[in-house]
Amino acid sequence: MSTHSTTQADPIKFAYWVPNVSGGLVVSKIEQRTSWDIDYNIKLAQLAEENGFEYALSQIRFTAGYGAEFQHEPVAFSHALLAATKKLKVIAALLPGPWNPAVAAKQLATIDQLTNGRIAVNIVSGWFKGEFTAIGEHWLEHDERYRRSEEFIRALKGIWTTDNFSFSGDFYRFNNYTLKPKPLQQNPHPEIFQGGSSRAARDMASRVSDWYFTNGNTVEGIKAQVDDIRAKAAANNHSVKVGVNAFIIARDTEEEARAVLAEIIEKADPEAVNAFGDAVKQAGKASPEGEGNWAKSSFEDLVQYNDGFKTNLIGTPLQIAERIVALKAAGVDLVLSAFLHFHEEVEYFGKKVLPLIRELESAEKQRKSA
């Protein structure tokens, strides 16, 4: 069983999306005081770790889409953020196909050595055929992509934790390979994240991943996913923690927060939103279930491309704190957050929202021990 165990007694954790691609985190022409350049991102990483964020997730993208005209490569960018921070852990996204597990294991082990054990990885199986075609990568069908990702993860773990590693899979093979130096993190290895809502994605997480990211959803919808994946993981003698995506709009009054959401939707870029919606729904239909992550997403949901509005972290600090504690009660271990203006809103969240969450968690802990 993985030693990255989870307990609801632990404080809920927070991550933020690194804006290492242009266009911000909503497909809207509303003003976003967020930049994809390195100076902005270094300051953001420093603000985040000062304001209670434990993780940052860098994005992987090779081609422009929904306003993301420019994209920085996530592993190199993650290293730059780690070099400028002291305790933040950065999760670098990797795409099996372009990346080989031997190269990735070596690259990440070196970064782990250079940053005192603060790198993690998010394995992205991919949904965008056009991107693979554009860079000359062979496109696999839905379940085959997850089979490849699972082999990729098993290979990473083997290389990071054992000498004389041998592996014989359908996609990757290793013969008596020993990586030196290994990552500093040996409890048992750098954390491995993944996303996806299909059956194949959940099955993979329940077998090999330390963390499972899901799109935004209601508390009830998220609880159903958590219950399913935890039951499956238990049957596999494995444990997996869960992170949920959320676009956070915290303001002093609910009216202010709802007005910001309304303006984001009103100024949405319909061409880009519909193009994204068509692509992800087509990808979902190719899965065995014929659905996928975005099957029930409306135009308004898709303006935040991981359904972040559905999690409903929009309102006053107290409203948001109460909803986050409800997510925790449903089994969520981490909130993966995005903001309209990252610098200002990460600070606001750390100063106004996070203390309320910790108060509510403490009160709940005392109630249970009474």
Q: How confident is the model at residue 1 (pLDDT cuts 50, 70, 90)?
A: very low
Residue among 243, 246, 262 nearest 195 (CA): 243
CB neighbour list of residue 289: distance below 8 Å, 6 or more residues apart: 198, 199
The pLDDT value recorded for residue 295 is 65
Q: What is the pLDDT of residues 20-30, one digit of tens each?
A: 999 999 999 99
If one compares 368 and 256, the residue with the highest pLDDT of the two is 256
Other CB atoms within 10 A of residue 102 CB? 16
For 214, the token pair is 């899901």
**How far is residue 96 CA from its own chain's centroid?**
16
Instruction: Write down the domain spans for the chain.
Output: 13-369
Q: Determine if residue 40 is left, alpha or beta; phi over 0 gives left, psi from -120 to 50 gives alpha, anything else beta.
A: alpha
Q: Which CATH superfamily is domain 13-369 in?
A: Luciferase-like domain (3.20.20.30)
Q: What is the pLDDT of residues 340-357, one digit of tens each?
A: 999 999 999 999 999 999
Tell me the whole-structure pTM to 2 decimals.
0.93
Q: What is the pLDDT of residues 70-83, one digit of tens each?
A: 999 999 999 999 99
Q: What is the rounded CA–CA span in Å between residue 16 and residue 48?
A: 8
For tokens 């007694």, the residue is 9
Q: What is the pLDDT of residues 135-169, one digit of tens each?
A: 999 999 999 999 999 999 999 999 999 999 999 99
For 147, the token pair is 């089979």
**Is the per-residue pLDDT at 292 higher than 70?**
no
The pLDDT value recorded for residue 293 is 60
- % of the chain at pLDDT higher than 90: 80
